[in-house]
């Protein structure tokens, strides 16, 4: 079974993964909308493509199960992700001269990004779940998630400083260096870990689609899947429009808007840590309460952003409540994964991961498309603000749904020895 140091090494892989993803889903989309004056729906479609491809997550988990070598998929997925990020940055440069060539290159790049995230992320979680002692699984999931958010926040902040003044050459250098460092970090972190994991005899399992059908037939798993889709649609609607909003409505530079994204993810990290301390250390509140509080707080923060409150504190507040919601939802997943038909934990997590990926793509694309549509008849600030208000409404619906789908008992987020 994994030691705490080995679990932290898994967190380093998640950190590396998040550091690349944040560049492609925030900085590059802002450059398309503001610097290249392209419609927000274009990066929305590209990011939606990378999320859509992640519906293959259950398949990646199944492949890593049957091959018995998850490290290969983890490191290989990271390499594909890094290559996709470099091609995506190069696509920005090409788009400035040729829309057709730049778009074709970007489609290839975001396809690689989706495949890389799906292969690496799913295989990592599968190995983490199978090699971690049961009493440590919830803690392991929380630690790795927090490290991923930390990687996102640090990368966004650092890149924000390095990217100003913006030039295409500077973008390519930063992206290439980040891809190489992140891939090497993941490879070093995973080195020899899987060799020390005791081999587990395979258990009979149905084919992938039959297994998914069995899990979908479970009422609680099905209801929670719908909750994940609704809440994650709300969570990701602002992903592609917050930085363009900062540039168009508040006059932020590319570096400033990237740093804003870093501040938001810093808020996410603090929100997650807060729930861990309150729910685990102080035994205050259950998972259902923290999920609902996170949804309601996120709705209020979005309303403040729409009302043109000071953008930095409102964005940090949004990140804080998003983090509160996210870590409590992770705890709920861990609690529900073992319920229902035995030996289907991985299939349930794969189903919920696929729902999250589809919702992320759908939410980001919907937010960008609505912003483009509303900007044809409204000033930029009002157009974006309307989308933020719609997103706040979805968070309110998610809070209502959580009262029935999130388990009432309080599983320990970070269990003791």
What is the structure's pLDDT at 413? Answer: 45
Of 17-26, 27-36, 392-401, which one has max mean pLDDT?
392-401
The CATH class given to the 4-196+206-405 domain equals mainly alpha
Range 353-372 average pLDDT: 86
Split at pLDDT 50, 70, 90, the class of 239 is confident
Least confident window among 35-44, 69-78, 126-135, 408-417: 408-417
Split at pLDDT 50, 70, 90, the class of 334 is low
Is a pLDDT exceeding 90 seen at residue 113? yes
Listed by start position, the domains of the chain span 4-196+206-405
The three-state (H, E, C) secondary structure of the chain, written as one string: CCCHHHHHHHHHHHHHHHHHHHHHHHHHHHHHHHHCCCCCHHHHHHHHHHHHHHHHHHHHHHHHHHHCCHHHHHHHHHHHHHHHHHHHHHHHHHHCCCHHHHHHHHHHHHHHHHHHHHHHHHHHHHHHHHHCCHHHHHHHHHHHHHHHHHHHHHHHHHHHHHHCCCCHHHHHHHHHHHHHHHHHHHHHHHCCCHHHCCCCCCCCCCCHHHHHHHHHCCHHHHHHHHHHHHHHHHHHCCCCCHHHHHHHHHCCCHHHHHHHHHHHHHHHHHHHHHHHHHHHHCCCCCHHHHHHHHHHHHHHHHHHHHCCCCHHHHHHHHHHHHHHHHHHHHHHHHHHHCCCCCCCHHHHHHHHHHHHHHHHHHHHHHHHHHHHHHHCCCCHHHHHHHHHHHHHHHHHHHHHHHHHHCCCCCCCCCCCC
The string of pLDDT tens digits covering residues 307-319 is 988 999 999 999 9
pLDDT averaged over every residue in the chain: 83
What is the structure's pLDDT at 201? Answer: 45
Least confident window among 27-36, 230-239, 286-295: 27-36
Of 168-182, 190-204, 359-373, 401-415, which one has max mean pLDDT?
168-182
Is a pLDDT exceeding 60 seen at residue 410? no
What is the structure's pLDDT at 174? Answer: 93
Least confident window among 116-120, 131-135, 200-204: 200-204
What is the structure's pLDDT at 415? Answer: 39
Indicate the burial class of 285 (C-beta count within 10 angstroms; 0-12, 13-18, 19 or more): middle
pTM of the model: 0.72
The string of pLDDT tens digits covering residues 137-194 is 656 767 887 888 788 778 877 887 888 888 899 999 999 999 999 999 999 999 888 8
Split at pLDDT 50, 70, 90, the class of 416 is very low
What is the structure's pLDDT at 55? Answer: 83
Is a pLDDT exceeding 70 seen at residue 345? no
Range 377-385 average pLDDT: 91
Structure-model confidence comparison of residues 126 and 45, the more confident one: 45
Least confident window among 101-105, 121-125, 126-130, 334-338: 334-338
Range 126-145 average pLDDT: 71
Range 351-357 average pLDDT: 80
């Amino acid at each position: 079974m994994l030691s705490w140091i080995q679990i932290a090494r898994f967190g380093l892989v998640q950190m590396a993964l998040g550091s690349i993803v944040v560049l492609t889903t925030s900085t590059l989309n802002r450059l398309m909308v503001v610097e290249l004056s392209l419609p927000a729906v274009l990066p929305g479609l590209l990011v939606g493509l990378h999320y859509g491809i992640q519906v293959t997550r259950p398949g990646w988990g199944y492949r890593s199960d049957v091959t018995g070598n998850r490290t290969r998929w983890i490191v290989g997925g990271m390499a594909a992700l890094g290559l996709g990020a470099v091609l995506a940055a190069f696509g920005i440069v090409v788009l400035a001269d040729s829309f057709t060539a730049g778009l074709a290159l970007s489609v290839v790049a975001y396809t690689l990004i989706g495949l890389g995230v799906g292969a690496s992320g799913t295989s990592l979680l599968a190995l983490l779940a199978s090699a971690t002692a049961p009493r440590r699984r919830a803690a392991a999931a929380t630690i790795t998630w927090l490290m991923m958010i930390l990687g996102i926040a640090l990368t966004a902040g650092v890149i924000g400083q390095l990217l100003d003044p913006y030039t295409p050459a500077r973008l390519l250098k930063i992206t290439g260096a980040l891809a190489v460092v992140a891939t090497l970090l993941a490879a070093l972190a995973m080195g020899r870990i899987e060799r020390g994991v005791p081999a587990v005899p395979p258990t009979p399992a149905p084919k992938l689609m039959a297994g998914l059908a069995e899990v979908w037939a479970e009422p609680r798993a099905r209801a929670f899947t719908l909750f994940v889709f609704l809440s994650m649609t709300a969570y990701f609607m602002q992903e592609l429009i917050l930085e363009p909003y900062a540039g168009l409505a508040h006059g932020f530079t590319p570096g400033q808007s990237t740093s804003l994204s870093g501040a938001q993810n810093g808020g996410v990290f603090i929100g997650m840590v807060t729930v861990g301390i309150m729910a685990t250390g102080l035994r205050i509140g259950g998972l259902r309460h923290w999920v609902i509080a996170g949804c309601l707080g996120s709705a209020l923060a979005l309303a403040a952003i729409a009302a043109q409150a000071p953008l930095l504190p409102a964005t940090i507040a949004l990140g804080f409540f998003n983090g509160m919601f996210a870590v409590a939802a992770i705890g709920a997943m861990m609690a529900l994964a073992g319920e229902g038909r035995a030996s289907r934990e991985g299939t349930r997590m794969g189903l919920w991961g696929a729902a999250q990926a589809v919702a992320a793509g759908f939410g980001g694309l919907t937010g960008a498309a609505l912003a483009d549509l509303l900007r044809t008849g409204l000033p930029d600030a009002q157009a974006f603000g309307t989308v933020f208000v719609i997103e706040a409404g979805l968070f309110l619906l998610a809070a209502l749904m959580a009262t029935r789908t999130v388990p009432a008992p309080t599983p320990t987020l970070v269990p003791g020895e």
